[in-house]
Chain A
Amino acid sequence: AQTVTQSQPEMSVQEAETVTLSCTYDTSESNYYLFWYKQPPSRQMILVIRQEAYKQQNATENRFSVNFQKAAKSFSLKISDSQLGDTAMYFCAFGQGSNYKLTFGKGTLLTVNP
């Protein structure tokens, strides 16, 4: 079974600064998908960014970007120019195989301080 590890239970960053959240995963396959989801205090899960394993180029969505290191099985999320609204739990997720199921990490609670 696939596993997803987020080694940072909590992190904090000052407003306008940059922060990187870590995620590692375990798989023996070469084709898979990776995601970062954000869960603010409202608890609504929001898709932030996705990365296909066959693409070498790192995905970017506005202030959010990833550092995908396939050989190291690492998928970190960088948030630039952090905003107070970025305060949330962030989940890394891995998708592979049939039925399009996702395996989630335990999450990192990010607090952006003013």
Chain B
Amino acid sequence: SQTIHQWPATLVQPVGSPLSLECTVEGTSNPNLYWYRQAAGRGLQLLFYSVGIGQISSEVPQNLSASRPQDRQFILSSKKLLLSDSGFYLCAWSMDNYEQYFGPGTRLTVT
């Protein structure tokens, strides 16, 4: 069966510091991968998605970037965090359909 992992689960970072959040999927090959941000406990905003290694599409111009160095690994990064980057970050995967499965999420607080 497929599983999706995210880490860390919780992160507190100062403004201006770098960020790296990791997402990995097990039990499947060549999944579609997605990064979402959920602010204030409501609404999911799609940040990035990837249909293959090295293929990243950005949905919203912002202070973040994403990379997919391996088939089942998806990384969300920032060089310098802003206060507005605080939120709950969710990674999801799907095969070639719309049914997405989510990881447990990372709660990021920028202080």
A71-114 near B? 1/0 per residue, CB < 8 Å: 00000000000000000010100011001111011110000000
Count contacts on B: residues with CB < 8 A to the other chain: 25
A71 to B42, CA, bound (A): 28
Cross-chain contact B99 with A50 (CB below 8 angstroms):
yes
Hey, which chain B residues are within 8 Å of A50, CB to CB? Answer: 98-99
Hey, which chain B residues are within 8 Å of A43, CB to CB? Answer: 38, 88, 104-105, 107
Choice from A33, A99, A104 contacting B44 with Cβ under 8 Å: A104
CB distance from A55 to the nearest CB of B (A): 14
A102 to B96, CA, bound (A): 13
CB distance from A27 to the nearest CB of B (A): 13
Cross-chain contact A106 with B43 (CB below 8 angstroms):
yes
CB distance from A89 to the nearest CB of B (A): 7
B102 sits at the interface (CB 8 A): yes
Give the contacts of B84-111 with A (CB-CB under 8 A): 88, 90, 92, 94, 96-102, 104-105, 107
The winner among B38, B96, B98 for most chain A CB atoms within 10 A is B98
B82 sits at the interface (CB 8 A): no
